[in-house]
Amino acid sequence: MKASEVLRKYKDGIRDFSGECLRGESFQGKNLAGADFSEADIRGANFTNAYLRGAKFSGAQAGLQPYWKIVLITISLVLSAMSGAPSALAGGYLGFLLDSPNFFNFMVGLSLILGFVILFIIIARYGLGIALVALVTFLVVNLAGGLFVAGNGDGNGAGMFAFAIIGALAGTITGALVETVAFELAGAFAFAYTLSVALVVAFAFAKFGKGAIVEARFEAFVCACLVVGLYAYISWRALVGDDKYALIRTIAIAFAAIGGTSFRHANLTNADFSQAKLKSTDFRRANIIRTCWHNSEQLDRIRPGKTYLQDAKVRQLVITGQGQDQNFDRQNLRGINLQGANLADASFIGTDLNEANLQDADLSRAKLVQTQLDEADLTGATLTGATIEDWGITNSTNLHRIRCQYVFMGLPTKNDPNPRRKPDNWEEEFEDGDFADFIKPIVDTLDLYHNQGVDPRAIAISFKQLADNNPDAELEIVAMEKRSKDKFLLRAATAPNADHSKLNAEYFTTYNTIKVLAQTEVQALLVEKDSRISSLEKMVETALQRPGIYAQTYNHQGDTMPDKSSDINISGVTGSN
């Protein structure tokens, strides 16, 4: 079906395009929200900048069109053949130096063999990053060796030797890329075939080459075999996900995705790619908020850009839904779809789960400490035994039908393995609906959690400035709590429609700026403000000297601040410093 026909039918209200062949069609910038492309052939289709909110691609086949795959494989074969020749040339000139009766030639050849071996070992063991430094050093030695040979020995071909060695190293990198691309495109057969081509070309070059190679055919072929073996190893390690060769894999996937299905910059919010085949598909800068990837295939062969799909463990999580007892601390998982996932005993300390779909997820005993959950959907999720210390729920967090018998308000320690259990009575558990009622006071406040070097003066100035800049938020401090030596919680009531996430970000931007100012600059700021900053600063200092929670009514628009102590026992946060 042509793109024009799809767009015409969509305009007429038709949304079902399941099973259609849309190979190579362009929908760039089009609005196809809610369209059903299940089981469709979308290989080579262009959805760049398309609006695909709620679209279904379940079981669809994305990636390269067959003819374009052949083109890329042909290019790979040509590059593979080219990578074998410099290796044979380097081996020929190396043999020429070693077989020379001139002592200087022999010593330079021997030293270059040693350098070559060391460089290869570094590449194989530490990857290409560290090897770049060694490569520069080796090239300098190469050049010096070539000049040394030219000045003291038989200079015939000394410069060519240096050139050939550089070519062999370039061939190693090129060959590794080619082999990785070949496997990405056509699997193990293409991998083996391109290797064979490289060896055949190297052998032919060694057999029929001229110049120094004539005198060292065996060395030429051996050197070529070693280079081919090295880049085959590099390619294999890149394919299995070795981080040392991540660059090779990234470049190979990018090359293999040329001409593939593109969702670049597309809006894929709530889209469904379950069971889809996604090899050689471009998702760079796509909006993948709550996108479903359950049981999708070859998700590790896509171009993920900076999305959460760039992490191998996260890719496996969204495919299988199995994250039990795994650590996802401090990762950016904004908008991830984990509906129905098994996340029991998982750790999400400091993790960004804003806008995430956690419907019916099992979060039993999960660590949700300082986890950001603004606009997250936890409908039907299980939270029994979870630790929710300073978690970042807001009025926009969906907590309907939460299944929870009890929670902990702090992480366990050796001395306190079950800290701050709620309900407090170990013989009691939350009944249906109790948890939502328990957690509501936390949702309705702006919690400013400081966890690094509390500065009372910076807190006072920052809060005063926040209140002045946002009068509609109706900020009013209701509690302060010293959590430990370097941790402090400032809790403020707000207007019902206040944006807690925005207020939190603005506050800590100011706070972090003031903390690094010189004392004279801080004094200048104080001169510009009124005496209420000093009052608030004293309140913070008092709270820092008391255990538990210290509460005072402080309204930035009034002058009345009656003191009162409180035994409030609430814990929650919408952000942290």
Would you list the DSSP string of 497-566? T--HHHHHHHHHHHHHHHHTS-HHHHHHHHHHS-THHHHHHHHHHHHHTSSSEEEE-EETT-S---EEE-
Answer whether residue 101 is part of any domain. yes
Query: Residue 310's closest CA among 241, 363, 233?
Result: 241
Using N-to-C axis directions, what is the helix angle for 217-239 and 158-208, rounded to 10°? 90
CA–CA separation, 473 and 565 (whole Å): 25
In a domain, 220, yes or no: yes
Q: CA angle, corner 448, sides to 469 and 497, nearest 5? A: 55
pLDDT of residue 448: 84
Residue 563: the pLDDT is: 37
CATH of the domain at 344: 2.160.20.80
Residues 164 and 235 in one domain: yes
CA distance 539 to 481: 11
Q: Which residues contact 525 (CB under 8 A, 6 or more apart)?
A: 461, 514, 517
Q: What angle do CA 502, 387, 349 make, to 5 degrees?
A: 55
Q: Other CB atoms closer than 10 Å to residue 526's CB: what's the count?
A: 16
DSSP state of 430: P
- Does the residue 310 lie in any domain? no
Q: Residue 8 and residue 31: Cα distance in Å, rounded?
A: 12
Q: Give me the number of domains the chain comprises.
A: 4
The amino acid at residue 366 is A
Whether residue 484 sits in one domain with residue 471: yes
In a domain, 183, yes or no: yes
Instruction: Provide the 3-class DSSP secondary structure of residue 393.
Output: coil
Q: Which amino acid is at 141?
A: V
What angle, 0 to 180 degrees and rounded to 10, lies between the N-to-C axes of helices 103-152 and 246-256? Answer: 70
327 phi and psi, to 5 degrees?
-105, 120
> Is residue 353 domain-shared with residue 495, that is, in the same domain?
no
Let me know whether 81 and 224 are in one domain.
yes
69: phi then psi, degrees, rounded to nearest 5: -65, -40
Extract the tokens encoding 322: 């199995």
Task: Verify that 357 and 403 share a domain, yes or no.
Answer: yes
Nearest partner of 266 among 48, 57, 43, 46, judged by Cα: 48
CB 384 within 8 A of CB 403: yes
439 is a domain residue: no
Q: What is the pLDDT of residue 379?
A: 94
Give, rounded to a whole angstrom, the gap between the first and last alpha carbons of the chain. Answer: 53
Q: Are 101 and 249 members of one domain?
A: yes
In a domain, 316, yes or no: no
Phi-psi region of 407 (alpha: psi -120 to 50; beta: other; left: phi over 0): beta
Three-class SS of residue 137? helix
Q: Do 114 and 240 belong to one domain?
A: yes
Distance between CA atoms of residues 186 and 194, nearest Å: 11
Q: Are residues 122 and 222 in the same domain?
A: yes
Query: Which parts of 451-496 are beta strand (E)?
Result: 476-484, 487-493
Phi, psi angles (nearest 5°) of residue 291: -75, 135
Structure tokens, 157: 């071909």
* Cα torsion through 272, 394, 467, 447, rounded to 10: -130
Q: What is the pLDDT along the chain (577 residues), one digit of tens a residue?
A: 999 999 999 999 999 999 999 999 999 999 999 999 999 999 999 999 999 999 999 999 998 887 776 776 676 666 666 665 666 666 666 666 666 666 666 666 666 666 667 777 777 677 666 666 665 665 565 555 555 554 444 444 445 555 555 555 666 666 555 545 555 555 555 556 555 655 565 555 555 554 444 454 555 556 666 666 666 677 767 666 777 777 777 777 787 778 889 999 999 999 999 999 998 899 999 999 999 999 999 898 899 999 999 998 999 999 999 999 999 999 999 999 999 999 999 999 999 999 999 999 999 999 999 899 999 999 999 999 999 988 888 878 998 889 999 999 888 777 777 777 888 788 888 888 788 777 766 666 788 888 777 788 888 888 888 988 999 988 888 777 776 667 788 888 888 788 887 888 899 888 888 877 766 565 655 555 555 566 566 656 665 555 444 444 434 433 333 333 333 222 333 333 3
What range does the domain containing 11 cover? Answer: 1-65+259-270+279-293
- Residue 40 pLDDT: 96
The pLDDT score that the predictor gives to residue 554 is 38
- pLDDT value, residue 519: 63
347 with 463, same domain? no
Residues 77 and 220 in one domain: yes
466 lies in some domain: yes
Q: Are residues 71 and 61 in the same domain?
A: no
Q: 169 with 182, same domain?
A: yes
Residues 91 and 97: their CA atoms lie apart, in Å, by 10
Provide long-range contacts, Cβ within 8 A and 24+ apart, for 161-165.
161/90, 161/93, 161/94, 161/96, 161/97, 161/112, 161/212, 164/86, 164/89, 164/90, 164/92, 164/93, 165/90, 165/112, 165/116
Assess if residue 576 is contained within a domain. no
